[in-house]
């Protein structure tokens, strides 16, 4: 049996990987963008905006909700979803630091080749 080695990575690295995986599907990206354009949204409204069946949209919503990227509140027979902007700001800062470090110039300067 293979043992997961995720504990060998920092909490920030693990969180970035989880968020990247959750956003790796265009439907989930579209859901986040849709929720960002509105204050709240009922799940049926989300399904009407996407070229997917309501059950498929519901599965994508559950994936985003499991990571707390979105929050859902039951209102009678419907669920109103909204973004967890606090968590998204935290993730934005983490990704910014990640990309800033990734594109930083090497010690030798931007003209040096990596040798590949």
Residue-wise pLDDT for 66-81, tens only, equals 999 999 888 888 888 9
- Using DSSP, state whether 41 is helix, strand or coil: strand
Give the Cα-Cα-Cα angle 9, 12, 14 (nearest 5 degrees): 55
Q: What pLDDT does 106 receive?
A: 66
* Whole-structure pTM value: 0.82
Higher pLDDT, 115 or 20: 20
- Among 49-58, 64-73, 101-110, name the one with the lowest average pLDDT: 101-110
Domains of the chain by start residue, with CATH: 9-95 (1.10.10.10)
Higher pLDDT, 43 or 115: 43
Enter the tokens of residue 74: 């039951």
């Amino acid at each position: 049996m293979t043992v997961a080695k995720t504990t060998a990575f920092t909490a920030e690295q693990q969180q970035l990987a989880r968020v990247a995986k959750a956003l790796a599907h265009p439907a989930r990206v579209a859901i986040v963008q849709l929720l960002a354009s509105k204050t709240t949204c009922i799940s049926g409204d989300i399904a009407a905006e996407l070229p997917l069946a309501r059950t498929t949209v519901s599965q994508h919503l559950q994936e985003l909700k499991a990571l707390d990227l979105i929050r859902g509140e039951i209102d009678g027979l419907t669920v109103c979803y909204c973004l967890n902007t606090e968590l998204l700001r935290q993730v934005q800062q983490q990704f910014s630091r990640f990309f800033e470090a990734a594109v930083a110039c090497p010690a030798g300067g931007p003209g040096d080749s990596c040798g590949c």
